[in-house]
Amino acid sequence: MLQEADIGVGISGVEGMQAVMSSDIAIAQFRYLERLLLVHGHWCYSRISSMICYFFYKNITFGVTIFLYEAYTSFSAQPAYNDWFLSLFNVFFSSLPVIAVGVFDQDVSARFCYKFPLLYQEGVQNILFSWKRIIGWMFNGVISALAIFFLCKESLKHQLFDPNGKTAGWEVLGGTMYTCMVWVVNLQLALSISYFTWVQHIVIWGSIALWYIFLMIYGAMSPSFSTDAYMVFLEALAPAPSYWLTTLFVMIFSLIPYFIYKSVKMRFFPVYHQMIQWIRYEGHSNDAEFVEMVRQRSIRPTTVGYTARRAASVRREDRFYDQIHTDLVAF
């Protein structure tokens, strides 16, 4: 039975370890099941869906900027960035924050997961990983990439960016675009999560700082290794105020659409866990009657397993009224 189920939970105890050996998750006492499901189950679902959506977003942002640049190189496959920049994007400059989200993020704290057990339904109803959300994040990636590329290209249009009259070459455009991109993807993550511990602060701001440090170290290496990135930051980019102004502008501009979307959603169309965040913010969570009222009004008849999946797919086909009644009778 444990092996037939989608997830089998075994309890290790006086009767031996046989259940534990054939289960996916082992716990020590039966009452730990409540925490396993309500707290860790909900967190796991929320973290993984955030992580995957964000992963698509950042790679799409990265790839689409390179693709857009190809249109200006007559599609000759000349990348917009130096080779090492390309390789290290997914290693140093944007990987740790997303791992921190996937491992540590908590949209509501454990206490609230117990208080509002219906948060678990977010997973059953597939609210946080619906196609709408995935496509929405991908679209966000595309518009971020469009903003980054075209704004950087326009601000360097005639390559006159330096107060000393020198012109901007390929490495200056690449360096500017890459800087904007590192800022945008990291700030986007900071905007989309609502749980900041020292871990998140270190990885997000650290990744951004690491980019500048890397530029300086890589630029200081001998030109036979760093080729066109040799001294690009210290000599060309950093002394030019237009570089800093462009970076600031692009990072704010790319995030405004998502910011508007999130503000409107949070205030006017909040999802269940966002409602819980509002309840916590307004201090109603200590009011036992209020909490009980919220729980009661959230309850809906649910089904499990095959029946739940069929009901969910049937809802998508807009024939849910009759089917829900049928399912309830069967359940």
Partner 1 sequence: MPSNTASSSSAPAGSADSSSSRTKSKRPKYSKFTQQELPACKPILTPGWVILTFLVISVIFIPLGVVSLFASQDVVEIVDRYDNDCVPTPARANKVAYIQGGADKSCNRTLVVPKKMKQPIYVYYQLENFYQNHRRYVKSRSDAQLRSVKDENQIDACKPEDDANGRPIVPCGLIAWSLFNDTYALSKNNQPLNVSKRGIAWKSDREHKFGKNVFPKNFQTGNLTGGGKLDENKSLSEQEDLIVWMRTAALPTFRKLYGKIESDLEKGDTINVILKNNYNTYSFDGKKKLVLSTTSWLGGKNDFLGIAYLTVGGICFFLALVFTIMYLVKPRRLGDPTYLSWNRVPGGGR
Contacts of partner 1 in 177-236 (CB under 8 A)? 194-199, 223-224, 227, 230-231, 235-236
Choice between 52 and 275, CB closer to partner 1: 275
Phi, psi of 13 (to 5 degrees): -165, -160
Residues 252-257: contacts with CB within 8 Å, 24+ apart?
A: 253/147, 253/151, 254/143, 254/144, 254/147, 254/148, 254/180, 254/184, 254/188, 255/184, 255/187, 255/188, 255/191, 257/140, 257/143
| Nearer Cβ to partner 1 (24/83) | 83
- Angle (CA) 237-242-246 rounded to 5° is 95
Q: Does 18 bind partner 1 (CB under 8 A)?
A: no
For partner 1, the closer of residues 92 and 170 by Cβ is 170
Size of the site for partner 1 (CB under 8 A): 97
Query: CA 122 to CA 239: how far, in whole Å?
Result: 50
| 315 lines the binding site for partner 1 (CB under 8 A) | yes
- What string marks each residue from 156 to 175 as x (binds partner 1 by CB under 8 A) or -? xxxxxxxxxxxxxxxxxxx-
Tokens for 288, please give them: 């036992």
> Where in 284-313 is the site for partner 1 (CB under 8 A)?
284, 290, 294, 297-298, 300-301, 311
- 2-10, 15-23, 49-57, 153-161 -> range binding partner 1 (CB under 8 A): 153-161
Cα distance between residue 155 and residue 311, in whole Å: 53
Interaction with partner 1 in 234-263: which residues (CB under 8 A)? Answer: 235-236, 240-242, 245-246, 249, 252-253, 256, 259-260, 262-263
Burial class (CB in 10 A: 0-12, 13-18, 19+), 212: middle
Min dist. Cβ of residue 308 to partner 1 (A): 11
Contact call for residue 283 and partner 1 (CB under 8 A):
no
Contact partners, residue 243, CB within 8 Å, separation at least 6: 161, 176, 179, 237
By CB under 8 A, tell whether 268 contacts partner 1. Answer: yes
Residue 74 as a binder of partner 1 (CB under 8 A): the answer is yes
CA atoms of 124 and 42, how far apart (whole Å): 10
Window 104-123: residues binding partner 1 (CB under 8 A): 104, 106, 109-111, 114, 121
